[in-house]
Amino acid sequence: MSFLRDSSIGNKLLIINVVSMGLAMLILVLSITAIMFASSRNSLLEDVNNQAYILGESLAPTVLFNDFDAAGALFEALPPHIEYVVVLDQAGKKFVAFPHHAEILADYQTSILEHYFSGIHVSYPLKINDQPVGLIRLGASLDRIYNQLTQFLLFTFLSLILSTGVGIVMLRKLQPHLLNPIVGLTKSMRLISHTDNYSLRFHLNNKDELGELAAGFNTMLNKIQSNQVRLDAELVRRKEAEDRLQQLAFYDNVTHLPNRHFFKERLERVVSSTLRHNSSCCVMLIDLDDFKNVNDTQGHHVGDELLMAVSQRINKALRGSDVLCRIGGDEFAMIIENAKDAAQVEFIAERVIRLLSQPFVLHEKEIFIGASIGISFCPVDTTDIPTLLRNADNAMYSAKNRGKNNFQMYHQDMEYKSMKRFTLENALRRALELNELFLLYQPIMQINSNKIVGLEALVRWNNSELGVVNPGDFIPIAEETGLILSIGEFVVNEACLQMQHWREVCGFEGMLSVNLSGRQLFKPDAVERIIAIVESTQYPYNLLNFELTESILMDHSKETFDKLEMLNNLGFSISIDDFGTGYSSLSYLKRYPINTLKIDRSFISDLPQDLNDVAISNAIIALGNSLTMKIVAEGVETKEQAEFLEARSCDLAQGFFYSKPMTVSQTMEFIMARLESSKMDIAENAVA
């Protein structure tokens, strides 16, 4: 039946029709044949019965008188369908037969069915005056009936074939009325499913089930189409949502640059392609210097704007194939594919530094930041991505330690240094508790009189494992981690107590200078905390000077101004430390209450030979004098330098020429010795 399942509806209809009609006709023909057979046999039976009766009446006397001839003559008039006649006498013996060899077969020799279909057999008693004289048995053949039936069947089958042919032709002619709508509907359905065009419709005006089917099909399409429209809109919305998620997952909200996640995936691809193509790539980590200051003083919105501006500037240094990502607060990372040689990468790094060194103008304020850059190459330094990143990070910290605003290429020594940094950071957290911090003091001298006018307190950290660590190694970490707040307070407290002691014991009335970090000053309650500490030591305000670096004053914020103003009004002094190294703008000198400029030692060290340094130190001294500020030359190491400065009206100096930073006891000795020599000078002058 599978061929029926897979054939077309037209063929199915044809087969079903032919088979069902054929079967019906066959049943009809067979029924008619059976009826015809039965009625013809009945007629023949009646006829044979009549023959038996007529023959019996005539044969009875012949049997009685044993007249064989007369009996035989009677047989001559028999109709042709009488097949045999057997006459038995009273004793049951065969008297005469037609044909003469005919015998009476016992009925039990044949089955009823066989008996019925084989012919007609009739018995009739022979009587004379109601006295039995014998028996006559007649048989008739059914051949004539069978012949007639065969002809009938032949004719009907011929008619059947003819009518089936006509039926098939008619069916073929009429089928389209039924099939065309179905075929059309099927075609429409195929077209729609191939083209996904749900605006197509199938038009059929029939009022029958097919018309209903077509209308239902169209209604279904209407629904699908409107669902499709909704679905399309939903898909668009989903796509947009996915894009947004993608944006959030892979891009940074503030700068719109790719984020850390993107960076990692991209780096994996670039490194594997680099290794496949035997080429070279590098990672450049860019960390903004002093970005925290901007965030702390200007607020986060300015910080965000600055990050945006920074990302735009760095982008200018990139080639088309380089990728810039923001991977942390103030950390950017660049992947440089096909980095041919170090010189090319150096060129990019220099460009980034140059671009970021220019001031940013945000909300009409100039903001200065710089960048420390670390670079590591693949495969030269490593082929392992985490190591590549660690290398770049180490190189970046090395750049920071070298005074910021520079770049460093990774080399193996940095590994040790970075370990050192990690160890430092952990140990520093416990330094205060363990009492490991202490102060050294470096005198500030009046050049012409060689008198001690003050002391700068310089912090040191004596760690059991690391030994004595210099502030250059741990102050940047303390600033990053926030530990500088408690360290700074420790220094102010310790130095004031010590100075108060020297005042009382030695009568030393010199100035105490303490370095203040930006993070300390930017704390909202900075002034209150300083006052509380100084108050507790009873050290006079007017003998305390705070050293600030230029970068701290660069934010030009009202808060910083107010704090410095307040400190100044209370009697404290303010110095600009390392003056000349920081920033190009000098406008803050006018604005803030500054008492002293400390010329950075980089301008002193090559005096008086270096003409540039001569020019710069001259200019700073002239500037300070004209603003009525005191000038301290830092890092004076030789007599020559001291004399040069004295000749240029630089009043004060600090440096190894006078003394290195000293311990408490050394400082006390130094103070006592100087005070003694001053007294002697006074005495000599008096004698003179």
Residue 668 found at the interface with ligand C2E (CB under 6 A): no
Structure tokens at 49: 């019965």
Pick the binder of Mg ion from 337, 436, 547, 550 (CB under 5 A).
547
Separation of CA 235 from chain center: 18
The pattern of x and - marking residues 580 through 619 that bind ligand C2E according to CB under 6 A reads ---------------------x------------------
Q: Is 578 in the site for ligand C2E (CB under 6 A)?
A: yes
Return all residues near 593 (Cβ < 8 A) that are at least 6 apart: 564, 565, 568, 574
550 belongs to the binding site for ligand C2E (CB under 6 A): no
- Could you say which DSSP state residue 109 is in? G
The one among 656, 663, 677, 682 contacting ligand C2E by CB under 6 A: 656
Instruction: Rank residues 217 and 438 by Cβ distance to ligand C2E and give the closer one.
Output: 438
User: Taking CB under 6 A as the rule, does residue 552 contact ligand C2E?
Assistant: no
| Partner whose footprint covers residue 398, from ligand C2E, Mg ion, none (CB < 5 to 8 Å by kind) | none
The closest residue (CB) to ligand C2E is 655
The Cα–Cα gap between 497 and 24 comes to 128
- Do residues 599 and 581 lie in contact, with contact meaning Cβ atoms separated by under 8 Å? no
Q: How many residues does the chain have?
A: 688
Distance in Å, CB of 514 to Mg ion, minimum: 8
241-280 residues in contact with ligand C2E (CB under 6 A) are none
Q: What sign has the CA pseudo-torsion 501, 503, 508, 510?
A: positive
Q: Interface mask (CB under 6 A) for ligand C2E, residues 476-505, using x and -?
A: ------------x--x--------------
Give the one entry of ligand C2E, Mg ion, none that residue 624 binds, where binding means its C-beta sits below a cut-off of 5 to 8 angstroms depending on kind. Answer: none
Calpha distance 617→625 (Å, rounded): 12
Q: What are phi and psi of 299, to 5 degrees?
A: 95, 160
User: Cβ atoms within 10 A of the Cβ of 390, count?
Assistant: 18
Examine residue 551 and tell whether it contacts Mg ion (CB under 5 A): no
Question: By CB under 5 A, which span of 32-40, 159-167, 550-558, 572-580 interacts with Mg ion?
Answer: 572-580
Stretch of 288-296, 394-402, 618-626, 651-659 contacting ligand C2E, by CB under 6 A: 651-659
Q: Which stretch binds ligand C2E (CB under 6 A): 81-89, 218-226, 266-274, 471-479?
A: 471-479
547 binds ligand C2E (CB under 6 A): yes
**Element at 235 (helix H, strand E):** helix 209-250
Q: Helix %, strand %, coil % for the chain, to 5?
A: 60, 20, 25
When binding is defined by CB under 5 A, the residue of 394, 398, 515, 596 that contacts Mg ion is 515
Number of residues located near ligand C2E, criterion CB under 6 A: 23
DSSP state of 651: -
Task: Output 515 or 659, the one with its CB closest to Mg ion.
Answer: 515
In the 8-state DSSP scheme, what is residue 404?
S
Contacts 24+ apart (CB under 8 A), 557-561: 557/297, 557/298, 559/297, 559/522, 559/524, 560/297, 560/521, 560/522, 560/592, 561/591, 561/592
Q: Nearer to ligand C2E by C-beta: 221 or 475? A: 475
- Side-chain-facing half-sphere of 542: CA atoms under 13 Å: 1
* 126 vs 485: CA distance, rounded Å: 155
- Per the rule left: phi > 0, alpha: psi between -120 and 50, beta: everything else, 17 is alpha
Q: Determine the residue type at 412.
A: Q
- Tell me the one-letter amino acid at 273: S
State the Cα–Cα distance between residues 463 and 469, nearest whole angstrom: 7
Residue 442 binds ligand C2E (CB under 6 A): yes
- Alpha-carbon gap, residue 574 to 627, rounded angstroms: 14
Torsion over CA of 542, 546, 551 and 555, rounded to 10 degrees?
-50
Question: Are 493 and 533 a contacting pair, CB within 8 Å?
Answer: yes
Q: Is residue 443 within the footprint of ligand C2E (CB under 6 A)?
A: no
Compute the C-alpha angle 654/655/659, nearest 5°. 105
Residue 556 interacts with which of Mg ion, ligand C2E, none, CB < 5 to 8 Å by class: none
Does 517 help bind ligand C2E (rule: CB under 6 A)? Answer: yes
Give the per-residue contact string, 596-635, with Mg ion (x = CB under 5 A; - = no). --------------------------------------x-
Only one of the segments 16-24, 333-341, 625-633, 635-643 lies at the binding site for ligand C2E (rule: CB under 6 A); that segment is 635-643
Structure tokens at 516: 């203040």
For residue 630, the cross-strand partners are 596
Question: Which among ligand C2E, Mg ion, none contacts residue 305 (Cβ within 5 to 8 A by kind)?
Answer: none
Report, in Å, the least distance between residue 322 CB and Mg ion. Answer: 38
- Out of 47, 565, 610, 637, the residue judged to bind ligand C2E by CB under 6 A: 637
Rounded to 5 degrees, φ, ψ at 14 are: -60, -50
The CA-based dihedral angle spanning residues 54, 57, 58, 62, taken in that order and rounded to the nearest 10 degrees: 150
661 near ligand C2E (CB under 6 A) = yes
Q: State yes or no: residue 577 binds Mg ion (CB under 5 A).
A: yes
CA distance linking residue 315 with residue 337, whole number of Å: 15
Q: Is residue 459 involved in binding ligand C2E (CB under 6 A)?
A: yes
**Listed ranges 84-92, 334-342, 386-394, 465-473: which one lies at the site for ligand C2E (CB under 6 A):** 465-473
With binding defined as CB under 6 A, does residue 515 bind ligand C2E? yes
CA distance 516 to 489: 9
- The residues in 305-334 that bind ligand C2E, with binding defined as CB under 6 A, are none
Rule CB under 5 A: choose which of 289, 381, 393, 578 binds Mg ion.
Answer: 578
303 binds, among ligand C2E, Mg ion, none (CB under 5 to 8 A by kind): none
Q: How far is the CB of 457 from Mg ion (least distance, A)?
A: 9
Asked if 408 touches Mg ion (CB under 5 A), the answer is no
Partner that binds at residue 470, options Mg ion, ligand C2E, none, CB closer than 5 to 8 Å by kind:
ligand C2E
The binding site for ligand C2E (CB under 6 A) comprises: 442, 458-459, 470-472, 475, 488, 491, 515, 517, 547, 577-578, 601, 634-637, 654-656, 661
The binding site for Mg ion (CB under 5 A) comprises: 515, 547, 577-578, 634
